[in-house]
A = this chain, B = another copy of it.
């Protein structure tokens, strides 16, 4: 993941793009909103406009560098696409996110699409639950 990836995407290597890619690589949070990215950049004294953050994230998504997720909450979160596809497990109390891949489910999805005459191109699977943290349990 470096400037070559930006070039390969047919995009000029500009400061905002480099900084945003860097940030996605180094951030402790794997899943960040556009607003998160914007604020993190401000904290690093990088004066990059919010509109540019949105533009760049959308371009990175189109280039396959980044994945956009629509968790609940009315806003999108982005994550660097480190090779493998995966799905998400989200704690409805604390918001903790874990990732997983399950070949059984992946295979069944394709089969189901075919059974319905569809050709699958993508999917979104999010499991909501209470995580292991005692504070996140009811009762």
Residues on A facing B (Cβ under 8 Å): 70, 72, 89, 91-92, 98, 100, 102, 104-105, 108-109, 112-113, 116-132, 137
A100 to B116, CA, bound (A): 9
Q: Is the CB of B121 within 8 A of A92?
A: yes
A112-B128 CB under 8 A given contacts A118-B91, A119-B137? no
Q: Is the CB of A121 within 8 A of B116?
A: no
In the complex, chain B residues whose CB is within 8 Å of the CB of A113: 89, 127, 129
| Copies of the protein in its oligomer | 2
Q: Apart from A98-B118, A125-B126, what are 15 other A-B pairs with CB-CB below 8 Å?
A: A92-B121, A92-B122, A100-B116, A112-B127, A113-B127, A113-B129, A117-B132, A118-B129, A118-B132, A119-B137, A120-B128, A120-B129, A121-B130, A122-B127, A122-B128
A108-B109 CB under 8 A given contacts A118-B129, A128-B124, A129-B120? no
**A93 to chain B: closest residue by CB:** B121
In the complex, chain B residues whose CB is within 8 Å of the CB of A126: 123-125
Closest 10 CB pairs of A and B: A117-B132, A118-B129, A120-B129, A122-B128, A123-B127, A119-B130, A125-B125, A124-B126, A113-B129, A119-B129
